[in-house]
Chains A and B, each alone.
Chain A
Amino acid sequence: MRIDSIDKLAAWRDECRKRLDSQKKKVLVCLGPGCLAGGSDKILEEFHEILSKKKITDVTLEAVKKTGCHGFCAQGPLVIIEPEGIFYTKVKKAHVKEIIETTLEKGELVEKLLYKERNGDGTDHAIVDYHDIPFYKYQKRISLRNVGQIDPDRITDYIAAGGYSALAKTLSSMTPQEVIDQITKSGLRGRGGGGFPTGRKWATCAKIESDIRYVLCNGDEGDPGAFMDRCIMEGDPHSILEGMIICAYAVGSREGYIYVREEYPLAVINLQNAIDSAREHGFLGENIMGTDLCYDIKIARGGGAFVCGESSALMKSVAGEVGEPRAKYVRSVVKGLHDKPTVLNNVETFATIPVIINEGADWFASIGTEKSTGTKAFSLAGKVKNTGLVEVPMGVTLRKIIFDIGGGALKDRKFKAVQTGGPSGGCLPEDKLDLPVDFDTLTKAGSMMGSGGMIVMDDRTCMVAVARYFLGVLVKESCGKCVPCREGLYQLHKLCTKITKGKATEDDLNLMENLSRVISVASLCGLGQSGPNPFVSTLRYFRDEYMAHIRDKKCPAGVCRELITFNINDQCTGCLACIAACPVEAITGEKKKLHVINQDLCTKCGSCYEVCNFDAVDIK
C-alpha cells in the first residue's frame, strides 16, 4: 500500500495495531549480535518448526518474531514472552519445546531460564518481568525505543509503534524553519561524539545558497568497543530513515546516503530492506506521503578504515575516493559531499529526531542536564558483569552505569578503570566514577563521552598495555597523509612498546609527553589530534603503573609478558584444569598432586590463571 496522503497513514496504523493486538501472546527472539552468536537464529527456527506443526490457542506463527538487540547481551540468547515481559535467559534450542509446552500452553514459568539476581547474602532470587531487573530498571530508552521490541523487517511493526507519525506531523503542520527551531530548542547534540548542536548544523546548511544539499548518516561506528549504532541499524532501521527524511525536509535535500561499515553486513541488509519498503509505501522517493517532498537514500558501504568516521574522509569515501581527510579549513556543512552543503549526523542522532518532533523540544530538554539534553546510548563491555546495550538520561554517573546497571566488575574483581570514547577517548579511574556522564564533564577529566563505547577494566588490565593497544590501532588506521599523525603516533607506539618490555627510561617518558602535545596540536584531522589521548589519560591517572614498568621492570597487573612469570603455589589441589587449558602443554602434574609450569615452554597467556578455581596460580 502506498501512503499518498497524511490521512491514509492513520488508517493504516489502526490496521497494523489491530493486527498486532489480535495476537494475545508474543514471543520475541533476540537476534542482536550477541544472541545471534549464541545461536538465536536456530532458536527462532525451532519455534517456527514446532509451532507450524502444533496449534496453540493464543499463539499464532506470526506472533513469534525476531527482534534486534534487546540489550542484555550477557544473558543471551534472550527470549521474551509478551505481554507479561517474561524474560528467559541463556536459552538454547533444546529449551524451545519446554518454553512452548510450559509457558505458551500452560501459562507457567520455566524457572531455570529466569534471570537470577544476587542477594546481599550470596543467595539468588529469580525475576520474571524484565522491567524489574536492575539492568533495565534504571534505563530510559529514546533512541533505542523500538530496538528489541519490533521486527526490523516489518514496516507494519514500526508503523504500529507510531512510526512515521513524526514525519506526518512535520509535513502536515510544520515549516522547515519550525523543524529546525524545534531541534535547536531541544538542545540535541550530535551523538557521534563531537557533540555539535544538531539544530545549528541544520540551520547553517539550510541557509547556504545551493541547488543541491545532502543529508548523510554516519553509520561508520569505528570505535572498537561500541555497538550502539549497529544495534539501531539492525534493530530499528526505519527510525533512522524517518529522522533523515525530516532533516531533508528541514534543510531542503533530495538525496542522501547512509555510510555503513563493511563489518556490519546485517545492518546493510536490514537498512536496504527498510529503504525498499519505505519507498514502496511512499515514505521515500518522489512526493513523499503525497506532498511536494522528494528525497531518497542510498547505502554506501565502508571499506574498513577508521579514519572514514571523520566527516571529510567519509564524504570522500562516499564519492568513491581514498578516505583521506580534507586539509582545507572549510566545514563540511558548508562544502561537503561533492562540495555541496551537507548535513552529516550519526545514527543515534537521526533515530532520536522523530521522538523530539512527536514529544516536543521542551520534553526532550527536560531530560538530562542543561547542556547535554536527552538520553545517550552506551555499549557496556569488557570486564563487567552485565555486558550489553543501555540508554540512560545524560548526567547519570559512571558509577550508576557500571555498578547499578552493569553489576560491577566481572567475578567481583576490583574495578580499575573505565575506557570511554574509543581510541580518541581515555581511561578514568575509580575516583572519577561519580562524575556525571555528559559531553563536557568527561572531556574535562581527560577522556570523552564519545559515541558511547564503555569498556570496564579490572585489576588484571595493564594500563600501559591498554595505551599501547590503542596507539597500535591508531598507527594502523592513520591515513598517513600528515607527518605528526603518521610518524608521531608510530614513534609513540614504539616507545610505549618499549615500556611494556621493561626497556624504557624516564627520558623516554618525557619524550613521549612532549611528542603527544605536538601530535595533538599539529595533526590534520581529529584522528591525529586526539590520537595521544589513550596515552595521556592513562599517564595522568596511572603514572605509578608506568613507573613500575620503567623503574622496577614490573607489570603490576600481570599482563606484560616480558615482565612476568607464572607459578603454581601450594594452594593447588591437583584438579588438572590448568593442564587441560594450557595451549602449549607447559604444565605437568598428576591428579591430586601439585602441578608445575615449565618456564621454558610457558607463553604467559594466562589461561591457567583464568581457569584456576583455587587461587593457585601466581603472577609475579
Chain B
Amino acid sequence: MVNITINGKVVRATEGEMLLDVIRREGINIPTLCQHDALEPAGNCRLCMVEITRTEWDGWKKYVTSCLYPVEEGLIVSTHTSELHEIRKTILDLLLANSPHSDVLQKMAEEYGLHKTSYEPNLEGDNCIMCYACTRICEVLGKSAISPVMRGHEKVIAPPFGEEPPDCIGCLACAHICPTNVITWTDENLTRTIWKKKFELIACEKCGKATISRDFAEYLIEKRGLPKEYFNTCDDCKRVELAQKMGALVDKAKEVAL
C-alpha cells in the first residue's frame, strides 16, 4: 500500500493502481472521454489531467494524465485548480469546434461555462473525438476490423480502404462504447448493417426474435469453445427454458417429498 495526498486528504492506495481510479474512489468527479473500464488507458483526451508534486520537489509541479499515472508513495495531487479548469475547458472548446453538434460535448462544455466554441466551428464535424475507444475494444473483443487512418487533423477511424471491413463480425462493441455516439448501425428484418457491411442475424428458434449476428456467434463459439447450438435460441428463451427446467425439478422434488 502507498499513501498519497489528494486535495489535502491522505488516501491509501494499492501499488500499481492508476491515479484516476483512486481519485474517483474518493468520490471526486473528473471528466473523461477516452477512458473505459473495459480498456487499457490511452491518454488521448487529456481531460483527466491533474497536478502532481512532492515535498522534495520544492514547489515544482507537473501535469499528468491521471488515467495513466501509477500511484507513488508521497505523491501530492490536486484535481481542481484554476489551471486545470482552464486545461479542461480548452480541450472541450477544441473538441466542440470540431464537433459543434455533439450533445455530449455541449453538455460537458456547459459545465465549464462554455456555451459555444471560441473557434470557428466545423459545421460538417462528425462528432468523432478520436478517443480510439472503438478501435481498442475491437482489438480486445473482435478482430481489429477498424483502425485510425491518416494522421494529424486528417485522422479518421475507418475500415481498410473505407470499404466493408473484412474482419468485422458485427458485434456492435464499437458502437456501444463510443462516448459521442458516432458509430451508427441498423437492424432490419434479420439484417444488421454496420460499417456498410451487412450481417445475417440469427433468429431465435423459439420466439423468432433477432439475436446476434451469425459471424459474431461463430466467432464466440470458436473463441470461447461454446456448444454449436448455443446461439440457436435467444437469451430470453434460454431463461424461460431454464426456469421451466427448474420448475420441473421443484415439482419433482415436491412429489418425492410427498
Contacts and interface: CB of A to CB of B under 8 A. Distances in A.
Given A329-B70, A480-B150, A483-B44, A522 B155 contact: no
Contacts of A328: 43, 68
A486 interface: yes
Contacts of A477: 151-152
Given A478-B153, A522-B46, A522-B87, A483 B69 contact: no
A207 B49 CA distance: 32
A513 to B, nearest CB: 12
Nearest to B155: A480
Contacts of B148: 322, 480-481
Interface in B31-81: 41-46, 49, 63-65, 68-70
A494 interface: yes
B49 A522 contact: yes
B94 A491 contact: yes
B91 interface: yes
B94 A483 contact: yes
A433 interface: no
A518 B90 contact: yes
Contacts of A322: 148
B171 interface: no
A480 B152 contact: yes
Interface in A476-509: 476-484, 486-488, 490-491, 494
Interchain residue pairs A-B with the least CB separation, the first 7: A327-B43, A480-B155, A487-B94, A478-B152, A518-B90, A490-B153, A480-B152
A482 B43 contact: yes
Interface residues of B, number: 35
B221 to A, nearest CB: 31
B211 to A, nearest CB: 36
B111 interface: no
B97 A524 contact: no
B184 interface: no
B94 A511 contact: no
A475 B155 CA distance: 11
B90 A521 contact: no
B40 to A, nearest CB: 10
B154 interface: yes
B97 A491 contact: yes
A515 B63 CA distance: 16
25 contacts: A327-B43, A327-B65, A329-B69, A475-B153, A480-B150, A481-B44, A481-B130, A482-B45, A482-B46, A483-B44, A483-B94, A486-B130, A487-B95, A487-B97, A488-B90, A490-B152, A490-B153, A491-B94, A491-B97, A491-B119, A494-B119, A515-B90, A521-B87, A522-B49, A522-B90
A480 B46 contact: no
A490 B44 CA distance: 16
A486 B44 CA distance: 10
B134 interface: no
Interface string B211-252: 000000000000000000000000000000000000000000
Interface string A507-549: 0000100110110011110000000000000000000000000
A124 to B, nearest CB: 49
Interface in B144-174: 148, 150-155
A470 B191 CA distance: 50
A500 B77 CA distance: 42
Contacts of B130: 480-481, 483, 486
A521 B88 CA distance: 11
A329 B68 contact: yes
Contact of A518 (B43, B64, B68, B91): B91
B94 A524 contact: no
A522 B94 CA distance: 13
A305 interface: yes
B41 A327 contact: yes
Contact of A494 (B45, B120, B129): B120
Given A329-B70, A481-B148, 13 more contacts: A475-B152, A477-B152, A478-B152, A478-B153, A479-B152, A482-B43, A483-B95, A494-B120, A518-B86, A521-B87, A522-B63, A524-B43, A524-B44
Contacts of B155: 480, 486
B118 A480 contact: no
Contacts of A487: 94-95, 97-98, 153
Contacts of B68: 327-329
Given A482-B44, A511-B118, A488 B152 contact: no
Nearest to B47: A483
Nearest to A490: B153
B129 A518 contact: no
Contact of A305 (B45, B119, B129, B151): B151
Contacts of B46: 482-484, 522-524
Interface string B2-46: 000000000000000000000000000000000000000111111
B154 A480 contact: yes
A160 to B, nearest CB: 46
Interface string A61-85: 0000000000000000000000000
Contacts of B97: 487, 491
A476 to B, nearest CB: 6
A488 B83 CA distance: 17
A524 B42 CA distance: 10
B152 A476 contact: yes
- Name, among A329, A483, A490, A522, the residue most crowded by chain B CB atoms within 10 Å (CB to CB): A483
A506 to B, nearest CB: 14
B37 to A, nearest CB: 17
A486 B153 contact: yes
A488 B153 CA distance: 10
Contacts of A494: 119-120
Nearest to B151: A480
A487 B131 CA distance: 13
A503 to B, nearest CB: 11
Nearest to A323: B151
Given A327-B41, A522-B91, A483 B129 contact: yes
A27 to B, nearest CB: 47
Contacts of A514: 86, 90
A78 B125 CA distance: 55
A480 B118 CA distance: 21
A517 B118 CA distance: 16
A85 to B, nearest CB: 48
A89 to B, nearest CB: 42
Contacts of B91: 483-484, 518, 522
A488 B86 CA distance: 14
